[in-house]
Structure 1
Amino acid sequence: MLQAVMVKPGMIEFRNVPVPEINAEEVLIEMKRIGVCGSDIHVYHGKHPYTSYPVVQGHEVSGVIVKLGAKVAGFKPGDKVTIQPQVCCGRCYSCRHGKYHICDDLKVMGFQTTGAASEYFAVAAAKVVKLPDEMSFDAGAMIEPLAVAVHALSRAGMNLKGLNVLVLGAGPIGNLVAQAARGMGAAAVMITDISGYRLGIAESCGIDYCLNPEQQNLGTMLADQFGADKADLILECVGANPTMNQAIEYARKGSSIIVVGVFGDRANLDMGLVQDRELQLIGTLMYQEQDYLQAIELVKEGQVRLEPLITNHFPFQDYQKAYEFIEDRKDRTMKVIIALNDH
């Protein structure tokens, strides 16, 4: 079978390798779709701090089970599936207390261990999540980033029904956070970005208020649309000082800010305001199986639209061209999908 290997930053080679054998607790998946995410792009540029080369990428995926291990139950050949890409130790405090997604020795497929960028992929059945038969492979590959959004919203520890939610950043994760918030009951959602393209995608997905803070005053818009109480919950989805400080500046006293964006450098924040206003800064990392299941339900119920986020598809053997496309269209690209085994 063919396997895509990033041998060094900016260079992908294809290798012919044997189809993997599976053990009693694994399944063999014929891969169908792989999504390219921001972290993958960091690897492509050699800027991911926890990835070494060579590396096989692929963690936003969908496929079809073709073979089951002897001890696997609950699946059958032909099932559409996606994968939870965490590899956990099972022994640390977090794992022992049901928080395996923040395992002390966490490894993620496609970064610190082998990802699914192959024609076939063997994985523990415990990491496999079944998809509805009617769900497209494209949508299946986007359940992983949608699960990121669902988990981020769950970190607020509150029922979103009837709340006003502000999302800073309208990239793929920010868009999915905004859509998931609406699907989980938020009364209204405002999303911000300096990219008109991304705001246009957000508007096409039905987000209530789409704002460019370089053209409109965020504080004024919050007061106009949400009233004097402003946002009940803020999610920062950029990972940059300007948006993080906007979140702190415009947060209602005593409210929560969920930090979703990945900061490439050390943040420079006004912690005096955080302390004075009793704000809660809450981190969020990945997800658990229940977040996948809720993400699937949101798509099934039509609460989240995934198609508008897909900018382009590339065949598996054009993996490198996908990255070059993203590089050439940084400001006009949301989600690029790698397609394989379309037969």
Structure 2
Amino acid sequence: MTQPGTIEFHETDIPEPGERQVQIKIKKIGVCGSDIHVNHGTHPYTSFPVVQGHEVSAEVTKLGTGVTEYSEGDRVTVQPQVVCGRCFPCRNGMYHVCEDLKVMGFQTTGMASDYFVVDADWLTRLPEGITYDEGAMVEPLAVAVHAVRRIRDLEGKNVLVIGGGPIGNLVAQTAKAFGAEKVVVSELSKVRLEMAEEVGLHTINSKEEDLDAGINRHFGDRKADVIFECVGSSYTVAQAIEKARKGSTVVVVGVVSALTEVNMGFVQDHELTVMGSAMYQSSDFDGAVKLITEKKVQLFPLITDHVDFEAYADAYTLIEDEKDRVMKVIIDME
């Protein structure tokens, strides 16, 4: 992407793996909301030109020296972070919030290419039962796993998810898989509400029903123990805090690009816990693969469209023009 909305294709040499690196052949690429921000030129941490692609599935095609845990032909996905390994977060088990974090497709080269070379430590193996389409969904599912794990124990909890897009849907499914008593998705889009119901979730159509009334209908006066905000707008962040029951927790999962006014007096008086959730770690990728393998989440209903690699820009057009229908667009590499 040379500038917002402009994609060019170039023939390049096939990259060779170095020490502890693996050459992979990309099979599928998922397109997400952050990619759309780049396409608009509004992503705050991305400059041009940039090769996108951070949700992928792939086949191992060549091993660099020192790689013994993978073999040619293995099916994998990639954790797309590049970290410094030296800062305080990296040294203390929090590399996913590295002080110099770079993400493939945003601050460093992404994987929208036939072949790519990556450090072996950033690969996650895909069991044979997982398709390449599902493999490209491991990354967004890992976002959901990480967010849900921010709550140490969801067993028996009431959960409200604000936003029924791909991440919101996956957070809701993951919360249910982690033992939540009741999971409800609040959403404006009728199609997304139907999709949430298709995968076994309860819903509130917040365009037609007052959110307070919907919360009371589903949860009674106990309301929600945990609210996951999965839209990323200033309005829905404020809404999540406003609708939170005293003593409950709000987890901000959506990427909020604008400054947001928060009623801190309300947070203090209601003794709320408000926390963020950013990206994931390798254990979250493993958790995502486990959920898929154990069939505790449904991914195929979320994949609404496929686009050929050579028509990459059409994925953005689909998402823009049919945003009420389109959930996840997958780029087919072959």
TM-score (norm 2): 0.98
- Letter of the structure 2 residue corresponding to residue 30 of structure 1: K
Within 5 Å, give how 1:79-158 maps onto structure 2. 79-156=74-151, 158=152
What secondary structure does 1:58 align onto?
Answer: coil
Indicate if the aligned counterparts of 2:44 and 2:257 stay in contact, CA closer than 8 A. Answer: no
What secondary structure does 1:73 align onto?
Answer: coil
Greater shift in the superposed pair: 321-330 or 277-286? 321-330
User: Unpaired segments of 5 or more residues in structure 1?
Assistant: 1-5
What secondary structure does 2:261 align onto?
Answer: coil
What is the deviation of 1:286?
Answer: 0.4
Indicate if the aligned counterparts of 1:62 and 1:80 stay in contact, CA closer than 8 A. Answer: yes
TM-score (norm 1): 0.95
Indicate if the aligned counterparts of 2:162 and 2:229 stay in contact, CA closer than 8 A. Answer: yes
TM-superposition CA deviations, 1:174-223 (whole Å, max 9, x none): 0000000011111110000111111111111111x211122112222222
- 1-side partners of 2:237 and 2:95: how far apart? 27
What is the deviation of 1:248?
Answer: 1.4
Q: Corresponding residue for 2:59?
A: 64
Whether 2:283 is the aligned partner of 1:277: answer no
Q: Corresponding residue for 1:3?
A: none
What secondary structure does 2:154 align onto?
Answer: coil
Within 5 Å, give how 1:1-343 maps onto structure 2. 6-156=1-151, 158-207=152-201, 209-340=202-333, 342=334
TM-superposition CA deviations, 1:249-277 (whole Å, max 9, x none): 22111111000111121112222211111
What is the deviation of 1:315?
Answer: 0.8
Runs of 4+ residues deviating >6 angstroms: none
- 1-side partners of 2:150 and 2:291: how far apart? 18
- 1-side partners of 2:34 and 2:97: how far apart? 17
- 1-side partners of 2:150 and 2:65: how far apart? 38
What secondary structure does 1:210 align onto?
Answer: strand
What secondary structure does 1:98 align onto?
Answer: coil
What secondary structure does 1:77 align onto?
Answer: coil
- 2-side partners of 1:218 and 1:149: how far apart? 23
- Letter of the structure 2 residue corresponding to residue 232 of structure 1: D
- 2-side partners of 1:325 and 1:339: how far apart? 15
TM-superposition CA deviations, 1:114-145 (whole Å, max 9, x none): 11000000000001110111211010000000
What is the deviation of 1:246?
Answer: 2.2
- 1-side partners of 2:125 and 2:304: how far apart? 25
User: Unpaired segments of 5 or more residues in structure 2?
Assistant: none
Indicate if the aligned counterparts of 1:81 and 1:129 stay in contact, CA closer than 8 A. Answer: yes
Q: Percent identity?
A: 54
- 1-side partners of 2:299 and 2:169: how far apart? 10
What secondary structure does 1:15 align onto?
Answer: coil
- 2-side partners of 1:326 and 1:222: how far apart? 30
What secondary structure does 2:2 align onto?
Answer: strand
- 2-side partners of 1:25 and 1:182: how far apart? 38
What secondary structure does 1:227 align onto?
Answer: helix
C-alpha RMSD of matched pairs (Å): 1.0
- Letter of the structure 2 residue corresponding to residue 204 of structure 1: E
Greater shift in the superposed pair: 88-97 or 64-73? 64-73
